[in-house]
């Protein structure tokens, strides 16, 4: 059985095809068009599909999926055995909930802190008893650079190459901005990890998102860091688990 899962974020969209639990195809696109979906659907014997999206205009994508697969609508009402203590389910991001579902399945019985370094940086804890009570939402790397330029009179818009993992010394204005933003993020992340690690024994930190590789490099020698796992497909794995759960429920 092949499943098509789609994660539409603020910056990029990710498409993945799973055969059972094995990832067999993965694509990152700026924007999904019907031709992209039809190409994947023709390439694999896809049976089911589901979507996580931060936006609302999905009619064209959903129409293609409904016409060619068994479409499974994803919402925070779908629960695979998690005690969800979040107070406003209607505003809980589907990508965050998909990560929680993935952690509950792939890292069963562990205290998991999920850090998603994307457009925003989100922190979510699922404890070893499968209890989820939410977390935190912070500004992402690019957003911080843009904010410094937008809300000041003279600070320039600074570009950052996420492939360059070195943090420069602040010897001029541009490098000072880079140093402040990047060091600030590392200290923030270390602070969250340290705090959660004190309260949750044997904490496993799951890093995902476009800037996760940068965080991983900076944190690998940190005294605050417990077990850290870079799992770039965490949201997609969660969506695949949703399909598996719903398929079992209906059959």
Which position among 7, 36, 95, 116 bears the catalytic label? 95
Half-sphere exposure (Cβ direction) of 186: Cα atoms closer than 13 Å: 21
- From the list 53, 133, 127, 50, the residue with the least C-alpha distance to 93 is 53
Distance from C-alpha of 17 to C-alpha of 116, rounded to nearest angstrom: 21
Are 103 and 126 contacting, i.e. CB atoms less than 8 angstroms apart?
yes
DSSP state of 167: P
175, burial (CB in 10 Å: exposed 0-12, middle 13-18, buried 19+): middle
- Is residue 95 among the annotated active site residues? yes
CA 228 to chain CA centroid, Å, is 15
Residues tagged active-site: 95
């Amino acid at each position: 059985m092949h499943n098509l899962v789609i994660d539409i974020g603020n910056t990029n969209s990710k498409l993945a095809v799973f055969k059972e639990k094995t990832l067999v195809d993965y694509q990152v696109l700026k924007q999904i068009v019907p031709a992209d979906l039809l190409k994947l659907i023709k390439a694999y014997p896809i049976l089911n599909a589901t979507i996580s999206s931060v936006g609302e205009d999905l009619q064209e994508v959903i129409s293609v999926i409904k016409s060619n697969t068994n479409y499974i609508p994803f919402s925070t009402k779908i629960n695979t055995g998690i005690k969800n203590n979040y107070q406003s389910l209607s505003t809980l991001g589907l990508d965050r909930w998909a990560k929680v579902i993935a952690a509950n399945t792939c890292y069963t019985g562990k205290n998991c802190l999920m850090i998603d370094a994307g457009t925003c940086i989100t922190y979510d804890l699922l404890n070893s008893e499968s209890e989820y009570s939410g977390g935190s939402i912070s500004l992402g790397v690019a957003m911080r650079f843009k904010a410094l330029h937008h809300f000041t009179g003279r600070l320039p818009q600074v570009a950052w190459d996420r492939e360059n993992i070195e943090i420069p010394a602040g010897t001029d204005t541009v490098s000072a901005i880079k140093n402040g933003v990047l060091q600030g993020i590392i200290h923030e992340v270390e602070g969250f990890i340290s705090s959660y690690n004190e309260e949750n024994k044997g904490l496993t930190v799951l890093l995902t998102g476009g800037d996760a590789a940068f965080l991983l490099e900076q944190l690998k020698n940190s005294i605050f860091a417990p077990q850290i796992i870079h799992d770039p497909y965490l949201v997609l794995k969660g969506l695949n688990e949703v399909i598996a759960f719903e398929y079992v429920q209906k059959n």
